[in-house]
Amino acid sequence: MNQQVQPNEEPQKTIVVASKLTKVFRDFFYRLRFPAVQGLDLEIRKGDVFGLLGPNGSGKTTTIKILLGLISATSGSCSILGRSPRDVAVKARIGFLPEESYFHRFLSAEETLNFYGSLFGLRGALLRDKTHALLKSVGLENDKTRLLKTYSKGMTRRVGIAQSLIGDPELLIFDEPTSGLDPIGMDEVKELLLKLKAEGKTILIASHMLSDVQDVCDRVAILFKGKKLLDGKVRELRTRKTGVRVELPGVSGKDDENLAKALNVLRENGVEDIDVVERETSLMDVFLDVIKNQKTSSGV
Ligand SMILES: Nc1ncnc2c1ncn2[C@@H]1O[C@H](COP(=O)(O)OP(=O)(O)O)[C@@H](O)[C@H]1O
Ligand SMILES: [Mg+2]
């Protein structure tokens, strides 16, 4: 009885469903030879930021290609936005960032987006406004007239994300959005993903960089050799119930007097197993700090 849905509690709309999805690639002789995805079940609901995670070759891109209707599954079924992936009408409702974006290097970001916008039937002021708004939202408004060949990888990735957004899609599919980026480019893309998430977009992110997407995704599925090993809410998967970590950034070191007093209180209350570790700044923190300071002092 307690599983009854309350009348005012609208069930969350399902955007992607896959059931026992399987893809076995054929060899030269048309024999089914290479299993890339094996019996994959997925469910992505409206507003989810869903991470399809796994090492290289685990079947992420193959899954995406099936969902986009670019290749067909060997067996199993899937639907996207309530339709078959083969349905042409559904494609206009999806924004896709491929693993590698191939843009014309001798066009500016503005011209590139104008071109893709025109493919969606946008013209005149409407097209201009849309391009402007997207370039602003991905933080490229000051560089919009520069040719893409002068862009960094992170900037190019952001053009790709802007391009995927041009048709106001209901679902975004990003394949390896942070791969090949340096820490700054990665941060820029991550921030953009968080912004899209805050806007309530439904996003499927495929990535082999687990640490990159753990702050962004609500739910993940972990693939390995085409099989799903695990799925669930990131918050729950990351909850380790085997201990508690307390950080004390104001405490100078292990021999701090107040720390000793606090530890004694714990010991007096029966907490014996205490591990005190001095926090070290990672090289990455130092690197990002130095660059951030440089940016602020030079007004960039
Ligand atoms: N067209 C193809 N023909 C044969 N094998 C393929 C083809 N495309 C992908 N594969 C294989 O399928 C597996 C999954 O690939 P992929 O989906 O690209 O993985 P991921 O995106 O997780 O890195 C890999 O072993 C890959 O070599
Ligand atoms: Mg891939």
Instruction: Give the position of tokens 């926090």.
Output: 279
Q: Is the pLDDT of residue 56 over 80?
A: yes
CA of 244 to the centre of ligand 2 (A): 36
Ligand nearest, relative to CA of residue 225? 1
Question: Atom 27 of ligand 1 has which residue's CA nearest to it?
Answer: 57
Residue 80 has a pLDDT of 96
Instruction: Say which range, 37-41, 113-117, 266-270, 283-287, has the weakest mean pLDDT.
Output: 283-287
CA distance 137 to 158: 10
Q: Determine if ligand 1 sits within 6 Å of the CB of residue 60.
A: yes
Q: What are phi and psi of 135, to 5 degrees?
A: -65, -35
Convert the pLDDT of each residue in 79-128 to its tens digit.
Answer: 999 999 999 999 989 999 999 888 999 999 999 999 999 998 999 999 99
CA of 202 to the centre of ligand 2 (A): 20
8 A C-beta contact, residue 162 and residue 110:
no
CA of 25 to the centre of ligand 1 (A): 8
Instruction: Enumerate domains of the chain plus CATH numbers.
Output: 14-237 (3.40.50.300), 242-300 (no CATH)
Question: What does the angle CA 246 – CA 247 – CA 249 come to, to the nearest 5 degrees?
Answer: 155
Q: Determine if ligand 1 sits within 6 Å of the CB of residue 36.
A: yes
Ligand nearest, relative to CA of residue 33? 1
Ligand nearest, relative to CA of residue 58? 1
Question: Atom 12 of ligand 1 has which residue's CA nearest to it?
Answer: 36
CA of 185 to the centre of ligand 2 (A): 19
8 A C-beta contact, residue 112 and residue 148:
yes
CA of 57 to the centre of ligand 1 (A): 5
Q: 91 to each of 45, 221, 226, 289, how far by Cα in Å?
A: 18, 24, 25, 42
DSSP H helical segments within 83-123, as ranges? 88-91, 109-119
- Report how far apart the first and last C-alpha atoms of the chain are (Å, whole number): 59
Q: Determine if ligand 1 sits within 6 Å of the CB of residue 22.
A: no
Convert the pLDDT of each residue in 1-49 to its tens digit.
Answer: 444 444 444 556 999 999 999 999 998 888 888 999 999 999 999 999 9
Two tokens, residue 14? 């399902």
8 A C-beta contact, residue 38 and residue 62:
no
CB atoms closer than 10 angstroms to residue 53: 25
Instruction: Give the position of tokens 């079940």.
Output: 41
Confidence of residue 283 (pLDDT cuts 50, 70, 90): confident
Confidence of residue 251 (pLDDT cuts 50, 70, 90): confident
Convert the pLDDT of each residue in 139-159 to its tens digit.
Answer: 899 999 999 999 988 899 999
Question: Atom 18 of ligand 1 has which residue's CA nearest to it?
Answer: 61
Q: Is the pLDDT of residue 292 over 60?
A: yes
Q: Which of 223, 236, 218 is nearest to 45 (CA)?
A: 218
**Burial class of residue 18 in the structure, from the number of CB atoms within 10 Å of its CB (0-12 exposed, 13-18 middle, 19+ buried):** buried
Question: Atom 26 of ligand 1 has which residue's CA nearest to it?
Answer: 57
CA of 191 to the centre of ligand 2 (A): 22
Q: Which of 17, 71, 77, 20 is nearest to 48 (CA)?
A: 17
Q: Determine if ligand 1 sits within 6 Å of the CB of residue 202.
A: no
**Burial class of residue 269 in the structure, from the number of CB atoms within 10 Å of its CB (0-12 exposed, 13-18 middle, 19+ buried):** exposed
CA of 253 to the centre of ligand 1 (A): 50
CA distance 125 to 122: 9
Question: Atom 3 of ligand 1 has which residue's CA nearest to it?
Answer: 25
Rounded (10°) CA dihedral 50, 56, 59, 63: 50
Q: Identify any residues that bridge with 35 across adjacent strands, giving them in sequence order.
A: 24
**Burial class of residue 63 in the structure, from the number of CB atoms within 10 Å of its CB (0-12 exposed, 13-18 middle, 19+ buried):** buried
Residue 5 has a pLDDT of 45
8 A C-beta contact, residue 156 and residue 150:
no
Query: What average pLDDT does the segment 179-207 reach?
Result: 88
